[in-house]
Amino acid sequence: MTTKISDRINSRELGDRLRQYRKQRGLTQSEAARDINVARTTLVAIEKGERQVKPKELIQLARLYQRPVSDFVTSPSGTQPFAVQFRAAFQRNSEDDVKIQSIIQEFEQLCRNYLELEQLMESPLPQNYPPEYVEYETLNSSIDTIAESIAGRERQRLGLGDGPVLGLRDILEQSVGIRVFYLKMPAKFSEIYQYQEQLGGCMAINLNHYEERRRWSMAHGYLHFLAHRRKPVIDHDNQWERVPRSEQLAEAFPKYFLMPTSGLLQRFNDITRSQGKFTPTNLFTLAHYYGVSIQALIYRLQDMRLLPYGTWERLQNRGLKVKQVQRELGLEELEHRADTVPIHYQHLAIEALDQGIITEGRFSDLLNVNRLEARRIADSLRNYSSGLEPESAHLDLRQV
């Protein structure tokens, strides 16, 4: 259901703000009404909260009062705190913690920008949210059993079958309604997740990590959303015995969501039957097929008792160089969009610009680039929307 801008805060509160900002600009009601091409009585009704302001009128008033639209559509009294969950290495220093705080602030601003664009264009991201999987907390089953059950139910709900999930970022955005940003973070941080009623589910993934790890981090954050979306925590990598049951579940979930048992077993058996054995080369091709790291695949096959325990360690001791082998086998990097902001965000921004709803300056602010780069990005988005080949409209927002 479409949510109007005026629905976000109380009409009387919005009217009070409009009146306050009008007076700060030294304008009378008649002058302001004339500038936005409405009757004075209409503006009076808006300021009294008796008439809902239309999106176009609110944008015109924001320009007239020289205020960002967010000043009108964000309610300080009703805004929930931006509480996040994040995944980090257990051993990190105070400098790392300082850096992540600035990244969390950037993440929050991007989330609020996204919501502002949706409201401006009256085009909210569809939310296909399942109820929280809270029943696991009362079960006596093992973590792996619960993680596999949730993964299977979600794959079925989203119509994913038992094959690979390569377009995970797009699936989470378009099929679930989670906003996923790629931000540069210190290497010790993998993913930041937050949920609140106003903003919905949002994730920031470390752009500096390779794509297989980013996908794993997304799946990890997705479990937070599925099972305990309102519970802020700090999850530490490689500290299994120190973290609560909820975090062990988040750690176990990706292997079942990205590599479902039935599909992986069938694929493994097909390779073994056709070749008579399962070779290290098969490990690389199968990991590429599922979009996971070699290490993650080996551990998964070990858990399924398809490979002997210690396989990864033995390969490491033999001097295995993963990237070199991938190049030799011709396994190209996984296709992915490394843009900082999601595709829906990009298209809302260019539509708002082209319709005159936002200025070029605001467009560049939303993408956090200078105006020259903003024009290049705008041209690329227009070309892509016009049906040109994706290569002609490639966006590189990794510096955002």
Mark whether 170 and 224 lie in a shared domain.
yes
pLDDT the model gives residue 16: 85
Residues of the chain with pLDDT under 70: 1-9, 70-71, 73-81, 83, 85-97, 232-243, 334-336, 385-400
Number of domains in the chain: 4
User: Does residue 162 fall inside a structural domain?
Assistant: yes
Mark whether 301 and 348 lie in a shared domain.
no
Mark whether 15 and 93 lie in a shared domain.
no
Do 382 and 396 meet the contact criterion of CB atoms below 8 Å apart?
no
pLDDT the model gives residue 84: 76
Mark whether 216 and 97 lie in a shared domain.
yes
For the whole model, what pTM was predicted?
Answer: 0.77
pLDDT the model gives residue 400: 33
Any idea which residue has 């079925």 for tokens? 156
pLDDT the model gives residue 395: 39
User: Does residue 203 fall inside a structural domain?
Assistant: yes
* Of 78, 100, 116, the domain-final residue: 78
Mark whether 267 and 131 lie in a shared domain.
no
Mark whether 155 and 184 lie in a shared domain.
yes
pLDDT the model gives residue 53: 85
Q: What is the extent of the structural domain holding 162?
A: 84-258
| Secondary structure in 3-state letters for the chain | CCCCHHHCCCHHHHHHHHHHHHHHCCCCHHHHHHHCCCCHHHHHHHHHCCCCCCHHHHHHHHHHCCCCCHHHHCCHHHCCCCCEEEEEECCCCHHHHHHHHHHHHHHHHHHHHHHHHHHHHCCCCCCCCCCCCCHHHHCCCCHHHHHHHHHHHHHHHCCCCCCCCCCHHHHHHHHHCCEEEEECCCCCEEEEEEEECCCEEEEEEECCCCHHHHHHHHHHHHHHHHHHCCCCCEEEECCHHHCCHHHHHHHHHHHHHHCCHHHHHHHHHHHHHHHCCCCHHHHHHHHHHHCCCHHHHHHHHHHCCCCCCCHHHHHHHCCCCHHHHHHHCCCCCCCCCCCCCCHHHHHHHHHHHHCCCCCHHHHHHHHCCCHHHHHHHHHHHHHHHCCCCHHHHCCCCCCC
Mark whether 269 and 181 lie in a shared domain.
no
pLDDT the model gives residue 237: 53
Mark whether 351 and 387 lie in a shared domain.
yes
pLDDT the model gives residue 1: 39
* Of 305, 328, 351, the domain-final residue: 328
Mark whether 115 and 74 lie in a shared domain.
no
pLDDT the model gives residue 56: 78
Mark whether 126 and 200 lie in a shared domain.
yes
User: Does residue 399 fall inside a structural domain?
Assistant: no
